[in-house]
Amino acid sequence: MNRREDWTYEEKALIPPVVDTSRLFWFTAAGLGAIVLWALYAWYYQLQRGLGVTGMGRPVYWGFYITNFVFFIGVSHAGTLISAILRLTRAEWRRPITRAAEIITVAVIAIGASNVIIDLGREDRLFNVIFKPHLTSPLLWDVLSITTYLTGSVLYLYLPTIPDSAILRDKLPHRRWLYGPLSLGWTGTEKQKKLLNRAIAIMAIIMVPIAVSVHTVVSWVFAMTIQPMWHSSIFGPYFVVGAIYSGIAAIIVAMAIIRKGCHLEAFLKPLHFDYLGRLLLVMTLLWTYFTFAEYVTTYYGNSPDEIKVMMSKLTGPYAPYFWTMVICCLPIPLVILGVKRFRTITGTVIASLLINVGMWLERFTIVIPTLSNPRIPRYNVHYTPSWVEVSLMAGCFALFILVYMGFTKLFPIISIWEIEEGREGVQETTERLESYLPEGGEGGEAAGPVPAAASVA
Amino acid sequence: MPRYGMVIDLDRCTACQACVVACKVENNVPFTDPEAAAKGRTMLWIELLAEIEGSFPSLRASLKPRPCLMCDDPPCTKVCPVNATYKNPDGIVAQIYPRCIGCRYCTNACPYGVKLFNWRKPEWPQPMAQGLDPDVSIRPKGVVEKCTFCHQRLQAARERAAWERRPMREEDYQPACAEVCPPNAISFGDLDDEKSEVHRLSHHDRAFRLLAELGTQPKVYFLREVGK
Ligand code: SF4
Ligand code: SF4
């Protein structure tokens, strides 16, 4: 039973990446680990000396850390939200994607939230937000929605791993101590399957509004102030759209890497990249629409304080960042994703990488220009991040990749049972697809009555 | 309850910055070296707001001393996640240093750029370090601070009036800036007391408030320069 020859096709392909570790993996992990250690040193340095070691000053009281916070929380929309939507709409092609996406959420949301902690002047008093909460503060709403989202996402990631844990428990005796408890006594009976699918469906429904609330509330941290170009009612949906945009892009990049790294070409096909690329194209257009709406109303309204902020982005010191963002998020993805010939794996990955660069710059050009152009002109300070901030940012990215890599060594990055279930359910799926169509007509068994409207036409 | 407020007559102000110095000494406001100042980390609870008016060659600088404006509807207090900044019953927007987590949300929500963050542990060179005010706590690194209308003086004045069994008088409580101003440009008192000077001046036809259109209801008024 435990010999690899006896494993099913899915098991043969998906379990080895969990147990067999290549040398490249270790080298990469070591490199990333070194970056994380360096970032930890930078953090220690900052804890000793205070936030004075950053490049922040008056009036730019928020810098890289808050930008990263918004960016990472945005990317976290990749997993849970997309996976929940795909599950709820019963998109069959989701099967190899969901888990790879869900782990992004869990890893990145924790990293995003730590960026706020790094940004605190008194991290030792962090728990004041629990013991002395002030409910009118949007930051407190953030604490609530992000912890809910993190808890829900962990659960939502965990539930579909249960049957896989049972498989691993049976196939990898030396890791019984781990998968035994994790599989919660799964034996694969009909009743268990029914319960599990129900639980996953319920979680999927719950997670959608929570995910939307998270980035809405993040945007409200800015929008609830009365500062120029922050105080905008469009910010909630604008941030959510941007979050899904960068989230899908992150999934595509992650999928391309595991496809090569774990040799999963047979599972992650060009088709998956094509479909996700189409979704990404829709998000490109939505994001462009929101950005345009945001800037054109500001421009037309012509309120001096807002124009000052806007001009610093369009032609002023932040113009290089702003226009790089525009190029990365609009024309290039539009061409790559819009033309079928370019919507290949390489194409979508290039577009996704650029989109993530662009979305980071978007967060940056939302946070900083408003702060450096206050209503009352006082100072002339330009924000340049210090080595501490840059190191911590690098550390966050390295940590994310490291956690992701570690996860692939714990669980199959593609859900074994879900693929098998998909295979077994082909019959059922065909029937479901047929049920979408009017009965009768070509290929139908019995020609049903022709609908009245059709006969009139 | 009184509603303490201030009226600053810009026609009298000579921009001598005596108020700035008096405040710094009274409130143990941390010393900033030139290096930190270049990074925008100067600590001043009251400072001169400089605005250049007109265009070359008929330029003129307008200078306004600007303490915390003690908004009646402060945008800074509602965003604090831990209630470390709040409007106290005297209408003074106060900071609780031991509670502040240093998130700097309030500094970003104040439209007047009043609030200051302690980027490092405060230090004073000798002999300044010997002249610290024992009535005012020294803020640790990582918290936000700002003008308090010299709240410690209000407490002292209250105690004194209670001790002498008499109601408080206006001259009992004056912040350091108002007290020291050589041309008497700064008046301070209860805005709701119809007999007070600040009440009269705040209804003067030269009176205006900074960014009044934002609806923050500042309790600091300015009197426009005559003929401007
Ligand atoms: S001036 Fe700024 S710090 Fe002072 S009360 Fe108003 S908003 Fe708060
Ligand atoms: S910096 Fe301190 S006072 Fe200001 S909002 Fe944060 S916790 Fe409150």
What is residue A454's predicted lDDT score, i.e. its pLDDT? Answer: 46
Sequence-ordered list of residues with C-beta below 8 angstroms from that of A436, at least 6 positions apart, any chain: none
| Domain count across chain A | 1
The reply to whether A256 falls in a domain is: yes
What amino acid occupies position A228? P
Strands B207-208 and B220-223, bridge-based pairing: antiparallel
pLDDT digits (tens, 9 = 90+) for A192-221: 889 999 999 999 999 999 999 999 999 999
Residues sharing a CB contact under 8 Å with residue A170, sequence separation 6 or more, in sequence order = A1, A2
Task: State the pLDDT at residue A380.
Answer: 61
Q: Which residues in chain B are contacts of A61 at CB distance < 8 A?
A: 104, 107-108, 117
Separation in Å, CA of B106 to nearest CA in chain A: 9
* Residue A442: per-residue pLDDT: 60
Which ligand has the nearest atom to the CA of A122? 2
DSSP state of A343: -
pLDDT at A263: 84
- Distance of alpha carbon B19 from alpha carbon B187, whole angstroms: 12
| Predicted local confidence at residue A171, as pLDDT | 84
Q: Which of A116-120, A157-161, A166-170, B110-114 comes out lowest in average pLDDT? A: A166-170
Nearest CA in chain A to B210: A376
Answer whether residue A8 is part of any domain: no
Domains of chain B from N-terminus onward = 4-223 (3.30.70.20)
pLDDT tens, residue by residue, A30-77 = 999 999 999 999 999 999 999 999 999 988 999 999 999 999 999 988
Query: Among A305-314, B145-154, B192-201, B219-228, which stretch is predicted with the lowest mean pLDDT?
Result: B219-228
Do residues B10 and B224 touch, judged by C-beta distance below 8 A?
yes
Q: From CA A88, how far away is CA B132, in angstroms rounded?
A: 66
CA distance B69 to A108: 41
Chain-chain contact of A120 with B107 (C-beta, under 8 angstroms):
no
- Tell which of A47, A54, A58 to mutate to test the B interface (max B CBs under 10 Å): A58
Are A407 and A84 a contacting pair, CB within 8 Å? no
- Whether residue A45 contacts residue A81, with contact meaning beta carbons closer than 8 Å, is answered with no
Residue A225 has pLDDT above 90, yes or no: yes
- Domain membership of residue A316 (yes or no) is yes
Residue A259 lies inside a defined structural domain of this protein? yes
Residue B56 has pLDDT above 90, yes or no: no
Tally the residues of chain A.
Answer: 457
Distance B218 CA to ligand 1 centre (A): 8
Pocket of ligand 1 contains residue B93 by CB under 6 Å? yes
How far is the C-alpha of A293 from the C-alpha of A270, rounded, in Å? 34
Cα B133 to ligand 1 centre (Å): 24
Q: Considering only CB atoms, which residues of chain A are within 8 Å of chain B? A: 49-52, 55-62, 116, 119-123, 125-126, 128-129, 132-134, 136-140, 143, 221, 224-227, 371, 374-379, 381
A5: in domain = no
- Name the closest-CA residue to atom 8, ligand 1: B76
In b/e form, how buried is each residue of A95-110, taking b as 16+ CB within 10 angstroms?
A: bbbbbbbbbbbbbbbb
For residue A438, what is the DSSP state?
P
Strand B186-190 versus strand B207-208 pairing type:
unpaired
Predicted pLDDT of residue A5: 76
Q: Which tens digits make up the pLDDT trace of A63-114?
A: 999 999 999 999 988 788 888 888 888 888 888 888 889 999 999 999 999 9
Give residue A258 CA to ligand 1 midpoint distance, Å.
52
Distance CA B202, CA B194 (A): 11
In percent, the amount of chain A with pLDDT more than 70 equals 95
Q: Give A2's pLDDT tier (boundaries 50, 70, 90).
A: low
Strand partners, B62: B51
Name which of A201, A82, A216 is nearest A144 in CA terms. A216
Q: How far apart are alpha carbons A249 and A351 in whole angstroms?
A: 8
**Nearest bound ligand to the CA of residue B99:** 2
pLDDT in tens, A399-449: 999 999 999 888 988 888 888 888 887 888 888 888 888 876 665 454 445
With beta carbons under 8 A apart, name residues in chain B contacting A220: none
Residue % of chain A over a pLDDT of 90? 59
Question: SS in 3 state form for chain B?
Answer: CCCEEEEEECCCCCCCCHHHHHHHHHCCCCCCCHHHHHCCCCCCCCEEEEEEECCCCCCEEEEEEECCCCCCCCHHHHCCCCCCEEECCCCCEEECCCCCCCCCHHHHHCCCCCCEECCCCCCCCCCHHHHCCCCCCCCCCCCEECCCCCHHHHHHHHHHHHHCCCCCCHHHCCCHHHHHCCCCCEEEEECCCCCCHHHHHHCCCCEECCCHHHCCCCCEEEECCCCC
Q: What number is the ipTM of this complex?
A: 0.91
Pick the atom of ligand 1 nearest to B147's CA: 4
pLDDT digits (tens, 9 = 90+) for A16-27: 788 888 888 899
Mutate to test the interface with B, among A378, A381, A383 (most CBs of B within 10 A): A378
Put simply, the answer to whether A226 touches B111 (Cβ < 8 Å) is yes
Residues in B closer than 8 angstroms to A132, CB to CB, are: 82-84, 99
Indicate whether A34 belongs to any domain: yes
pLDDT in tens, A277-332: 999 999 999 999 999 999 999 999 999 889 999 999 999 899 999 999 999 999 99
Within a domain: residue A433?
no
Stretch B70-93: mean pLDDT:
94
Give residue ranges with CB within 6 A of ligand 2: B 79-80, 82, 84-85, 95, 100-106, 144
**Contact list, B104 vs chain A (CB under 8 Å):** 61-62, 119, 121
Alpha-carbon span B45 to B67, nearest angstrom: 6
- Residue A245 CB: number of other CB atoms within 10 A? 31
Q: Looking at the DSSP assignment, which residues form a beta bridge with residue B53?
A: B60
Pocket test for ligand 1, best of B85, B87, B92, B110 (most atoms within 8 A of CB): B110
Output the DSSP codes for A206-274. HHHHHHHHHHHHHHHHHHTS--TTTS-TTHHHHHHHHHHHHHHHHHHHHHHHHHHHTT-TTTS-HHHHH
Asked if residue A318 is part of any domain, the answer here is yes
Q: For residue A261, give its domain range.
A: 15-421
Q: Calculate how far, in angstroms, residue A135's C-alpha sits from the geometric centre of ligand 2.
A: 14
B31 contact partners, CB below 8 Å, separation of at least 6: B43, B122, B123, B124, B125, B128
- For residue B81, report the distance from its CA to the centre of ligand 1, in Å: 16
How far is residue B72's CA from residue B88's CA, in Å, rounded to a whole number? 11
Q: What count of CB pairs under 8 Å joins A to B?
A: 137
Token pair, residue A145, equals 């929605």
Residue A246, domain CATH: 1.20.1630.10
| Spatial CB neighbours of A248, under 8 Å, sequence gap ≥ 6 | A78, A82, A276, A279, A280, A283, A352
User: What is the secondary structure of A296-337 as a DSSP string?
Assistant: HHHHHH--HHHHHHHHHHHTSTTHHHHHHHHHHHTHHHHHHH
